[in-house]
Structure 1
Amino acid sequence: MKIRELYPDVITEDTSYEYKAVLNPDSPIKWAKTLIGYANDKGGTVFVGVSNDGEAFGIDLEEVDKTKLLISRINDRHIFPHIKISYMMRSVDSNAEHFVLAVKVAPADSVIRYREGDYNETVFIKGDGNATPATPEEIISLSKRKYGVDNETSEVAYTDNQWSEYLNLCKEYRQDKSAPTIKELQNEEIVSKDGYAKSGFIMFSDNYSEDDTMICCRLWKGKNKTGIVLDSNRFRGSIANVFTNALNFIERNTKTGWVKTENGGRNEIRSYPKEAVREALVNAIAHRDYSISGTQIDVDIYSDRIEIVSPGSWLLPKDYNAYPAGSIPSIRRNAIIAACLDVANLMERGGTGFQTMIESYKACPDEIQPVVSIYPGFLNLKLFDRLYRDEVIELDLEGLTDGEKVLAILKMEGPKPIKELQMSLNYRSRSQFLNEVINPLMKSGEIYRDGKPKSPTALIKIKR
């Protein structure tokens, strides 16, 4: 009899099922590592009384009892924390004399180890058909998945001078421009009652240097990644610092247009609403999966859109498009990181970030509404350029000084080489253009040169 005749869902050994003829009491680690591997993953089942090729021959009732006692003894003496196990039996013969014993292991809430002696502990993880000792990197990743990346109490005491970047962020975005008190941080469980920072709050500290907070930003010439990269940067450090730097990168590399009003004035129109960009970036930081090593948030600015890609699966039961516009439920992957952003007035508890983005685009046609694309292991949020359309608002330079014209061109069209700016303003002499227009703007701190002064690839950019 094949095992699939007893358990139709079981076809072969994989990451969820394994076959054992018997469990050897003299070498328990050979089968106990499988139980541990299942507990450290999504759970699984070991079938005892089944050959490697899936033939279910079964074991008698006496052997079933011995096997249960053996598992209980090893779980009690060698597996820490103890794993949760349940059993099921199915007869393989008409007389009910032999049975396949299904040993079902539940996924554990913490990292499970096999202990031999006082100091020898091994963490096992499950592969396809086998369980192997975890590497240090795999243990770290496993620990983050089990405990969450941000909600453990650290041994680092909270002091204002070690979180100055975060406190400055709070002062910038909180309505009263104040820094949170330690009492407020404790009430939000960002800091423990005895004054120690939670692990998620550590990621906001000034000296944080791990790569898991990194945001990679790129400005592309064109609508895809086959074009030329006009500007790029990788921001590392505290979440407060990388958020500010990434936001500034987007600000200086996106366009601004103007439209005349009825009374002859001008109204500024941005390619991307500031609140939509901020909410999109905050959402990526708050909900990304920090347990996936070697990944980062990617911000790519194209001629017609911004794409913000963050690691981590979609947490809601339905697809993004299945929810009415502006009614995305709030599920927080990283509770402490989200709380830190909430205290800084950057993220609301009601989960209204998507609603804010939708509202900022409410006057726009359907084809440029924000879009969330869900892929295995990551999310892609797209914001579309409101000025990149057939009815794009033309840049009106009438009545502006030459310096104002340069700033207007850079805001509207992005970074440009000096030669192109010179041609736009009809200056014949490069030196005259530099002395009368560019150098004064650089001296006042409104623009800067990215690259060597005489390099043809050097770009003039707005400093924001």
Structure 2
Amino acid sequence: MYLEEIVDNIQLENDRFECKAVLNRDDVVGWLKTIAGFANASGGEFYIGVKDKTNQLVGFDRKAADNERNYFNNQVNEHLTPRPQMNISFIRYEVNKNERFVIRISVKESDIKPVILKYQNIPSIFMRRDGFTNGATYEEIIEMSVRSKKTQYDVLESDIKYDPDKISKLKDFYSRHNNGKELNEKLLRSLGFVNESGYLLNGAVLFLDGYKGDKTKVQCSVFSGINKGSERIVTINRFAGNIIDTIEYMVEFVNQRMNHGIIKLNDKRINIDSYPQRALFEGIVNAVAHRDYYLDGTQIQIDIFKDRLEISSPGGFYRGEKLGKTYDLSGIISKRRNELIAGVLVACNVMEAAGTGFDKIAEEYASADKKHQPYIYSSSDHFTLVLPDLTYEDGINDNDSAPAVTFMPVKNGTEYDEKILSFCYFKAHRVSEIAEYLGVSDSSYLRKKMLGNLEKNGYLIKDKVSRAIYYKTNQEKVILK
């Protein structure tokens, strides 16, 4: 038998069709690149259990077909990013009264391009054209990026069906933060939690009760001193769960380890925590809502030091400028990277629709002195909120937190090289801040002979935010002692 005998109106000779008798376990890239190529082009039909060129049916029995489908699905999940939008189905037919199955994978044109095939840590981009799948050209990659229809991970369709019994933790979380009100189906659908076909979007999957995937990983650490480089790690915990469990785990981790103090006034005492509860909660929710869920192998990091708490989230500010360091939290315009996730958290009444969470953090520290003011800094791959420990009397002293570093001597270097590279190691700084730290004037000599020379030789990385110039140490050339 042949494929055209069991599939109506099939177009066998075009760019959108390919078949394999079985999936080659020894050459996974050989067939995965076809799926990626379809997704990067205009989609296509991929059949398993059909001989290539002749389209003769080979098929599988019921158990073998299920195993082959599972293997296909696992390999796609492991090696293709973002996961292509696909519909996997079984086509049943009979041979001598014995049932057989062919697997059909309908691959849609990806809303987010390019779809990248990563195998043995080597990323590749493929394109389907003229009936063949080949590496994409530079021009094709640029065009894919420009014409990409959507850019957010959480609003893409998953292959998981919606089951209202599997979001009990989300329902409970919603009720606790909405005066006992019940989360109803109408609200979820209005948020885009589930599509018209009954499938969850990617962001919705992260709220499922049993979710334990890598997308929500967090790492929580406690350090004995004021920097990572030379201080002992007291505690390091890792956790993965659904978004609700992740938020509550991070809050509980900090609450169990923060200090508690007392401020004595003339007529009373005021209890004080290291980190105001509202500021802590807002910071953690913001990190979860704006995390870049495309970045596999990363995690939200909670780092507790003697003088501060740092909450770092994978991905820089969405479509925003990189910030060297800013105390003006109210001036930061927070753009949503994850519309669905943010929408659910807004509905749960734990996030502001207007994106004013940073304002609340600033309010909690409004009466604190300069050394106890929160700030934010970001790069292209992460952003970090720093909350000073209000029970630590000395506050945050950037000078003290400069780590000891080592590096190859810089050509035409100066006596200030080590101090500059140490000062800029963990945080980017403006020229004026570097000058103040060094105790020198903000002069052309500083900018050209000192900073310019370090940049020229690759030891400093320069960035510009509005009119301000920031410098950050290149950690590939400078390491901690």
> For the Cα contact (< 8 Å) 1:219–1:301, is it kept in 2?
yes
The correspondence for 1:247, drawn from 251, 256, 273, is 251
1:285 aligns with 2:288: yes
| Post-superposition CA distance 1:7-45 (Å, at most 9, x none) | xxxxxxxxxxxxxxxxxxxxxxxxxx9xx99x979xxxx
Quote how far apart the aligned CAs of 1:342 are: 1.0
**What is the TM-score when the length of structure 1 is the normalising length?**
0.53
Q: Compared with structure 1, are the counterparts of its residues 167 and 341 closer, same or farther at alpha carbon in structure 2 (3 Å cutoff)? A: same
The correspondence for 2:277, drawn from 253, 274, 278, is 274
Query: How is 1:186-197 mapped onto 2 (pairs within 5 angstroms)?
Result: 186-193=189-196, 195-197=198-200
Q: Which residue of structure 2 lines up, in the alignment, with residue 425 of structure 1?
A: none
Distance 2:196 2:40 in 1: 31
The correspondence for 2:313, drawn from 298, 310, 313, is 310
Which range moves more in the overlay, 325-334 or 209-218? 325-334
The correspondence for 1:228, drawn from 229, 232, 253, is 232
Q: Which residue of structure 1 lines up, in the alignment, with residue 341 of structure 2?
A: 337
Quote how far apart the aligned CAs of 1:196 are: 3.4
Over aligned residue pairs, what C-alpha RMSD do you find? 3.7
Quote how far apart the aligned CAs of 1:167 are: 1.8
Q: Which residue of structure 2 lines up, in the alignment, with residue 173 of structure 1?
A: 177
Distance 2:111 2:165 in 1: 38
Distance 1:374 1:295 in 2: 16
Q: Which residue of structure 1 lines up, in the alignment, with residue 54 of structure 2?
A: none
Distance 1:244 1:391 in 2: 27
Distance 1:300 1:325 in 2: 20
1:183 aligns with 2:186: yes
Which range moves more in the overlay, 318-327 or 212-221? 318-327
Distance 2:318 2:204 in 1: 22
Q: Compared with structure 1, are the counterparts of its residues 368 and 262 closer, same or farther at alpha carbon in structure 2 (3 Å cutoff)? A: closer
Query: What fraction of aligned residue pairs are identical, expressed as a percent?
Result: 31
Query: How is 1:100-139 mapped onto 2 (pairs within 5 angstroms)?
Result: 109-111=112-114, 114-115=127-128, 122=133, 124=135
Q: Which residue of structure 2 lines up, in the alignment, with residue 356 of structure 1?
A: 360
* Equivalent pairs, count: 277
**What is the TM-score when the length of structure 2 is the normalising length?**
0.51
Distance 2:381 2:394 in 1: 36
> For the Cα contact (< 8 Å) 2:371–2:395, is it kept in 1?
no
> For the Cα contact (< 8 Å) 2:371–2:394, is it kept in 1?
no
* Structure 2 segments unaligned to the other structure (5+ residues): 1-32, 42-83, 86-109, 116-125, 142-147, 397-481
Distance 2:380 2:358 in 1: 21
> For the Cα contact (< 8 Å) 1:235–1:246, is it kept in 2?
no
Q: Which residue of structure 1 lines up, in the alignment, with residue 262 of structure 2?
A: 258
> For the Cα contact (< 8 Å) 1:40–1:125, is it kept in 2?
no
| Post-superposition CA distance 1:215-246 (Å, at most 9, x none) | 10001111112222222211101111111111
| Post-superposition CA distance 1:165-222 (Å, at most 9, x none) | 2222222323x13331111111222233554322101111112121121010001111
Distance 1:123 1:200 in 2: 32
Query: How is 1:3-82 mapped onto 2 (pairs within 5 angstroms)?
Result: none
1:297 aligns with 2:297: no
Distance 2:202 2:111 in 1: 21
Which protein shows a greater Rg? 1
Q: Compared with structure 1, are the counterparts of its residues 375 and 349 closer, same or farther at alpha carbon in structure 2 (3 Å cutoff)? A: same
Q: Compared with structure 1, are the counterparts of its residues 157 and 262 closer, same or farther at alpha carbon in structure 2 (3 Å cutoff)? A: farther
Which range moves more in the overlay, 191-200 or 362-371? 191-200
Quote how far apart the aligned CAs of 1:380 are: 1.6
Distance 1:324 1:286 in 2: 20
> For the Cα contact (< 8 Å) 1:145–1:291, is it kept in 2?
no
Distance 2:289 2:134 in 1: 29
